[in-house]
Chains A and B, each alone.
Chain A
Amino acid sequence: GQQVMQIPQYQHVQEGEDFTTYCNSSTTLSNIQWYKQRPGGHPVFLIQLVKSGEVKKQKRLTFQFGEAKKNSSLHITATQTTDVGTYFCAGPQTGANNLFFGTGTRLTVIP
């Protein structure tokens, strides 16, 4: 079945260090979305990437969609304590209108 894996599962960084999470799909995706879930909170939509090789930036966050549209990454420059949370990638379920969420990467930022 369709799988969307993320690595690493957990990441601890010192405040000010960079952070990257990688998302790999077993199938080609028409688009990929990224969400952030704070501890005890709910997933919040960050961005959608559609084009092969697309790169988008939101302040310290850089999102990339792979050339083959099967992988993606999220890079955070100079992490802050407000970046703490779990980051999920999600892609359309094959042949359906719903999203299939990745396994998530839980980021801890040590002040």
Chain B
Amino acid sequence: DAGVIQSPRHEVTEMGQEVTLRCKPISGHNSLFWYRQTMMRGLELLIYFNNNVPIDDSGMPEDRFSAKMPNASFSTLKIQPSEPRDSAVYFCASRRDSGAYGYTFGSGTRLTVV
């Protein structure tokens, strides 16, 4: 089991540029979550999908953020245009809904917007 795979691991971009973060969940996991982690705000849920359908996107900061899950094995989080305050570590996590399973997190993408 390769775990949850995120890419890129690090991204440095200039303000105003588009940023796309990618996530491959664990096969068989039917829920996928995007979290953002900062020192000030901790771990914040941005959006989650169940069976590829967005269920709750109330955590998405503003219209500059969008997320998609075109199939069970791939999701993207896009920021356009990026701003310095978007600098954070973005984690993708997945979970199988049945049973007492916790979330499996990816290694995260450290985003720096300059």
Contact = CB atoms under 8 A, between A and B. Distances in A.
Contact of B91 (A31, A42, A104): A42
Contact of B42 (A44, A93, A99, A104): A104
The size class of the interface chain B forms with chain A is 20 to 34
Contacts of A33: 102-103
Interface in A30-60: 31, 33, 35, 41-48, 50
B11 to A, nearest CB: 16
A87 interface: no
Interface of B: 31, 33, 35, 42-43, 45, 48, 50, 55-56, 91, 93, 97, 100-108
A100 B104 CA distance: 15
B102 A97 contact: no
Residue of A48, A96, A98 contacting most chain B CB atoms (<10 Å): A98
Interface in A90-111: 93, 96-104
Contacts of A102: 42
